[in-house]
Amino acid sequence: MTKQAVSSLSILLVFLFHCITTSAQPAAAPVQPANAPAQPANPPAQPANPPAQPAIPPVQAAKAPAQPALVPVQKGPTDVTKILEKAHGYSVFVRLLKSTGVAKQLYGQLNSSNNGFTIFAPIDSAFSDLKPGTINSLSDLQKTQLIQFHILNTDVALSNFQTLSNPVPTEAGDAGAFPLNITTAGNQVNISTGLVNTTLGGTVYSDHQLVIYQVSKVLLPLDIFNPKPKKVAAAPVPAASKPKTTKEDAPESPSGAAAKVDEAAAVSVSGHGMLESIVVAVVAFFVMKGT
C-alpha cells in the first residue's frame, strides 16, 4: 500500500515537472519564407566621377574706393587751405596753393565777394606719380598756372557738370591755351586735359560758394607740358641785284630826250646865224672893193 502511494506520488511529480518546463520554453520563431525576393541583377550604375567642385571660390568684387570724408561747413571766413588740412592727404597741393599766392587770392575773393569756385584737389599720391622733378622744373608763373588750372571760377554741384560747355574755362586763363574737357556718364564725372584723364573721386567740401572735389591725378595743361612749337617768321627774300647800267646803256627818259632836241635846235640856230654873218661880211667886202 505504501509502495503504491509512493509510486503514484512520483508519477504526479514527474507530470508537474514536465508541465512547468514546457510552459517555460519560448514560443517558436516564425517560419522564414523559403525563398527571399530576388535582388535586381544589376543595380543602377553610380557615376564614375562625381562633379568636380570648384577648386578656387569665385573672386569677390573689388570694394569701391573709400570716399573722402566730407569736411563740415566752416564757421567764419572760408579758408581753402584749412579745409584741405582737415581733410588730410592734400599736403603737396596745400603747399603749392600757399607758395604761388593762389590761396591768398581765393581767401580774399571768397570772403569779400559772392564769387563761387570749384576746386579739383589732387591727393598726395597724385604728385608722387609724376616724374621726379616735374614740379621743380617749372617757373614760378607755370606753377601758378598749374594750380589755377585746377580751379573753375564758378561753384558746380555734382549734378550740374553735364550742363558745362567744353572746353571749360579755368582760372589759368584762355581755354584755347589751357583746354579742360569735362564729360559725364551717369553719376561719373570724367576730366581730360589732353595729357591726363581722370574722374572725380568724391566731394571733400561743399557750401553755397565753394565746392572741392578729390582727383587722383594732377591735371597737366597742354600749354605747359606739351606746348605747340612757335611759328618762326620766314626770313625776307633778298631782292635780285640789278646789273649796273652806264650812261650809254641807260634808256633816255622823255625829259632827257626833249632836252637833247632843244640843245640840237639851239646849236642849229646859232650855226645858221654865224653863216648869215659871214655872207653879209663877204658881200660888204666886195661892195667896198668895187667902189
**Maximum average pLDDT range among 41-45, 84-88, 247-251, 257-261:** 84-88
| C-alpha torsion 117→118→120→121, nearest 10 | 50
CA 162 to chain centre: 16
The three grid cell numbers given for residue 171, joined into one nine-digit string: 582760372
Q: Are 197 and 152 in contact (CB under 8 A)?
A: no
pLDDT tens-digit series, residues 39-71: 555 555 565 565 555 555 444 444 444 555 588
pLDDT at position 258, please?
46
Angle between helix axes 91-99 and 102-112 (nearest 10 degrees) is 80
What residues contact residue 169 under an 8 Å CB cut-off, 6+ apart? 152, 153, 175, 180
Q: Which comes out higher in pLDDT, residue 21 or 210?
A: 210
Q: Are 138 and 146 in contact (CB under 8 A)?
A: yes
Q: Are strands 117-122 and 210-215 parallel, antiparallel or unpaired?
A: parallel
Q: Which comes out higher in pLDDT, residue 175 or 201?
A: 201
Residues paired with residue 170 on neighbouring β-strands, in sequence order: 173
- What whole-number distance in Å separates Cα of residue 211 and Cα of residue 202? 11
The three grid cell numbers given for residue 17, joined into one nine-digit string: 515537472
The edge-to-edge listing of strands for the beta sheet with 197-206 is 151-152, 117-122, 210-215, 197-206, 188-192, 181-185
The three grid cell numbers given for residue 149, joined into one nine-digit string: 588750372
pLDDT at position 157, please?
94
The arithmetic mean of pLDDT across residues 175-195, rounded, is: 92
| C-alpha torsion 99→105→107→112, nearest 10 | 160
Q: Is the dihedral of CA 99, 146, 87, 101 positive or negative?
A: positive
